[in-house]
Structure 1
Amino acid sequence: MTQHVDHPKVPMLYSDKSRVDFELPRPPESAAEGLNRLVGFLQRQYLIILITALSILALGLVYVVTAPPRFTAQTTLIIDTRKVQLFQQQSILGDIPIDSASVESQIEILKSEKVALSVIKTLHLIEDPEFSGSRSGLFSSAFGLVCAVLGSRDTASNFELTRSAIRTFQSQLTIKRIGLSYVIEISFKSLSRDRAAEIANAVAEAYIVDQLEAKDQATRRASAWLQDRIGELRNQATLAERAVVDFKAKNNIVNTGGSGGRLVTEQQVSELNSQVVVARAQTSEAKARLDRIEAVLRADSPNSTVNSTVADALKSEVVTKLRSQYLDIANREADWARRYGTGHEAAVNLRSQMAEIQNSILNELQRLAETYKSDFEIAKQREVGVQRELENAVSQSKATNQAQVSLKELESASQTYRTLYDNFLQRYMESIQQQSFPISEARVISQAAPPTQKSDPKPALALGLSGIGGLILGLGLAILRDLSDRVFRTAEQVEAELNATCISLVPKISAGKTPRDTLNNRVGTSDRANRTITRNRGLIWTASNNPFSQFSEAVRAIKLAIDVSWDAKSSKVIGITSAIPNEGKSTLSASLAQLIAQTGAKVLLVDCDLRNSALSNRIAPAAEFGIIDGIMGRKPLSELLWRDSKTNMSFLPGAVSWDNEVHPNELLNSSEARQFFDVLRKNYDYVVVDLSPLAPIVDVRATTQLMDAYVLAIKWAHTKFDVVAQALRSAPTIQDNMLGVVLTQADAKVLQLYSGYGNVYYGERPASSVSTAR
């Protein structure tokens, strides 16, 4: 066995979100592409759209033919904002301005069961067959017959007839507001012209009567309530006023009267406060005089005694006379001293007289000081007395003020009850006067007349709506059917669902020309002696005999994808697998190998589906040895290979002989298998390996060390999204090394209806022309 050689992995063509930065952004879909997509959708689903539209249109036609004619009568009334005001006082019901919300509320009242029941009773509609449950028209009659059979009841009760009449009445009644005005239009639809007009007018009349009754009832209820409330308020006002009087008497609260309305205690406090101010002023004045004269007496200087400026001293006649004598003698002493000197006997005598006068002034000042002291003490006592009286008055005033708080509350309650009593009494008198003059804001401005033309059914409208509704329903069903188609049909679906590149879409070969049909009908397919595949032209009939066919171009696209992913000098080992069996992987493997062999490259086709060697049974049914013998070293490679005489393609059979002791996945994951594939890689340019499916068994997961890349075959319009996605999730290593996806057995004509695929650029040329071209 040869030594295992590691081979480099190649860049794959699958889409990976981690490599988004290296991919060119997809251009936005053009208008032409969108139009083509829409046309394709319509071509795919036109049958269901057409059948649905025609069915709904037929139902509309049946309705037009069988539905009885109906007539619509209209009455208009207005919610008048200019109300009649007989009295200037405000209405007892508290009228509010009419706005849009109020108009909408009146519309709902018009639609109410109360108005409907009033009209039904007034016009005796229960006795009318149109309202009593009898039905006209094909659909209504059939529905009534079915209900009668299923219900099997004898006679409906009066309550049931009334409820049925109300339902029929409300279904035929239409109330709407005209624009943003206060005008309301009442329309009623009936089988009879006269009945339609009669009911429309009756609805307006019943509404107006209902409004008047509602106001009258509300006024009566309000008057009764006001009467009871007035009695309560009268008693409450009386009790509150009595409580005010009692509280004043208990707390000695007396008002002086007059415009100010001051309390006696407040007036006393004010007067005493003024007396305190006067007493304090007198005390301060007496204290000032006393302090001044004491200051003069404390001075030992005779001049200060004589020159004292105490105001009361100047008013004293004694002091004034002595001071005058003193000044006269002082002038004489100064004159004698200037003339005869200060030691003269006359001057000395004069100075002695001056000293005696000073002593006399001092004695008089001391007597005045005692008088001032007495006056000061009297002023102080008077101030203390007035201050004590003020404090007593203030204390009494505080108590009175605290009582005033409660008094004000009592007076406020009394005044409130009295005001409420007066207001309620006034409103009660107004309500008594207004009860005899009821007014309503609504009035009829146009009464209904029997219509001249039927309103239903309208053939053009019914058929138009049926046709449009049928188309919409058909489109909805078509879209639902298209969205529920969860199988692979386009390359975009492959990229979106699997995040992988769709390499090619291989078209389905017509009956009688498929490789399967040719293989099953070949004659002399193999030569045991030479191990040569002979007369097996049908294996790749399309690729060999018509290289410009769609089939050949699709297979050629797979080869191109393989070539652009590797260096031209390196060998390539490609594994072909599928998610589930019968996806066309074996046919794809054989077609790809033979097409590559036609280019002159050395190609080996390997049947590695060890569980089901279908490819070996088709190509080399006489083979006695296969790949298992090569991996286990039982036979050399040269004794295992078969060769196609036309293309020189080599073929290695699969599990022709099997050892039950060896499991396929263990064998493929062994070092012998890696060494065997290294030998194949050295001897061939391309090794195309037909592998087993992914989902049923795990053999493919064991080949990750053997393959350079994988190609996943998916049967077009057959395999579901979740099946393939689950298979790839279970084999992440296969997905990582996947070159791309190939959709097999595609219907070219149907494929054109999806994304513009299947347009044949190369036509199917005759075999003779193909050979000539070669």
Structure 2
Amino acid sequence: MVVQEIRKLTGTEMASKESGRQQDYISFRDIWAFLQRHFLILALASAAGVALGALYIANTEPTYTSIARIVIDREQARIASQDASTGTIIIETAEIASEVEIVKSEAIARSVIKQLNLTEDPEIQTSSSWRSAVRGAVVTMLSVFDPATGEDAEAAGKPNEEEIMRRTMAGFLGRVSVRRVGQSYVLEIGYTSTDPVKAARAANAIANTYMQSSLDAKSQIIARGAQWIEDRLVEIGRQAQEAALSAEEYRNSNDIAQVGPSGLDQQQLAEISSQLLSAQAATAGEAARLATINRMLAGELPDSYVGEALSNTEINRLRADLGAARTRLEALQTRYGADSEPTLAAKSEIARLETQINTELVRIQGVYRSNLDTAQAREELLKEQLDAIKGSVTEKNLARVQLTELESRATTYRRMYESVLQQLITTLQKQSFPIGDARMVTAATPPLAKNWPKTTLIIPMALMLGFAGGLGLAGLRDVLDRRISSGERLSRELGLPTLGHVPFTRFQAPGAKGALRFVLDAPYSGFSEALRGVKSSIDAAFPSGGPIVVGLTSVGGGEGKSTIAANLGQLYANEGLRVVLVDANFKNPFLSIQAVNTGPKAGLSVYRGTVDADGATEEKHKGEKRAQLEEVPILPVLTVEQIRKAAHPGHRFGHLPALKKKLEELRQDYDVIIVDLSTFASSADTRAASAYLDGILLMLGNRRKMTVEWLASALATFGKSRVGILGVVFNKRKTRQWWRPIARNTLDTGGRHAV
């Protein structure tokens, strides 16, 4: 049981609850519930979208698009960039895009319009712009008020030939479509019209005009190129002739018989140059050997570095003797000492040998010096001979160089002349037989099917748009709708738990006879199952063993709280508990009237007093036979009249203390006391009597007509009273869904109820 202080929620608190709710995640169950809740709106919006789509299809004149295909073949015309490595023809994407724009150009459009006489075509002329429509409307209005002014305005607004052509061109280009097929060199040229034959004729005319214009442009380019090449050929021929004459005149003036220098002079010059190089190399070698032996004599290098010293037998013999003398000197020094006579004699021998080696090296130095002088003299002689030969051939060489340059220039001009002549011949051949860049692949034919409107596209799109609009309306309705649509909203925004949902039920017996005991007549119906769930929630809210006093109230009338109270009492009585119903609805005592008028037929009886030892009242003994026949427990009802009689006669509102006293007495004799209260929104008795109860149930039978704010305002009428609210029970809920038929259960009594 939730005991809380009922008060009216402020706007700030509602906003905080709303922001807290927006932080929750949306699950698939929420989406499915949203679709179920707004199924009618979604269905109507989708149907409206489909209807609008069908209306559009019915009122739209069908159009047909015919397509002609051409291919850009640059390899035939040889006007392309060529890959130097592979030699293949390369057509850039920008070039293809340029051709697409050329096909859609005004020049092509103007030519096709004149060819097909489209300025008189009503299909293009009637499709005027909004400016033309406004101008026509203004002219019509002026002609109504002033015919002369209207005629002047019509004459002034009458378009000339160029304006007609521009308008026709705008309408024509709006119907032309050109696109590249994938990454290929194929272009699709399409034309859209209400007449399929006209569409094919216009598409073919555009393709043929484009190919012809390309061919004409190429012919003009070739003609201009041929003229330029011809002028260039004349100029190059004159320059080639002048260069050849200059070369021949120079040859004759310098008496040069052949191109190039004389063979004899060249041979002599080559031989002297070769000998000079050999002499210079020999001089360098002798100078190097002389420098090396000079360093040896100066003591900078040992004598073993000179090749001549190594190959001289005398020096080798002296070195061997020198080595033996040094060995003997070391032995004598060891044996006799450094100043002994044998040691001194050995040292004198070593000095003599070194002097002889040095004398031999000086002799070799003289030989090297002599060889160097000879090499230098030979080198000087060769240089003089080379200079003499060079002086004799210098003049002829200069003349030959100048003649070679003149002949090379004449040869270059002659080759240029031949190349330009070949280009001129090729250009003249192309001019006589030009080849276009494009050719027709597939000619346009009248299409068999319309291009627009497409039913398979418009109907699904209209359905989707209608469904999207329905979703928008449903979402807007959810945002603006503050009705209590579910217990989740009630729990989230007002903190009231939901104990159950009692389905809408059609009772078998007329009036209240079957309604007040239906829970026992149809124990497995949805109505009974829902009330059993409510009973379980009530039992869980109270400790076992003690009496409980539960009140049932609602915001407004006609929400079924009295029926729920009677059936709830039947459930408790069916379990063997001592149950009593208290009718505290002083404005509309429904249970009291039923207990007095209907009696045991509805399972009710007027409360007659306290229970006896076996739990049976006096009224129960009197109706025992009837109860056994009907197999229905009889619930005692403490009526409104009985409560009023127990009140103090001098008190106008003494029924409230009397009710409190009666409840205290009933707590001693009964296990469950169910109090049927008035609607609390308009009854102060209910708000006062709620303090006498252990808990109350709020019945919501018209939740579709009740908003959260209304319920919050109604609960705020309790003021600062602390009321034990067990929860909310949704009554008269329709569980039938669009996909589920109405369930029908056959009762033991032969009746039926619908859920």
Query: Aligning the two structures, in what range does the TM-score lie when normalised by the shorter sequence?
Result: 0.3 to 0.5
* TM-score (normalizing by structure 2): 0.46
* TM-score (normalizing by structure 1): 0.45
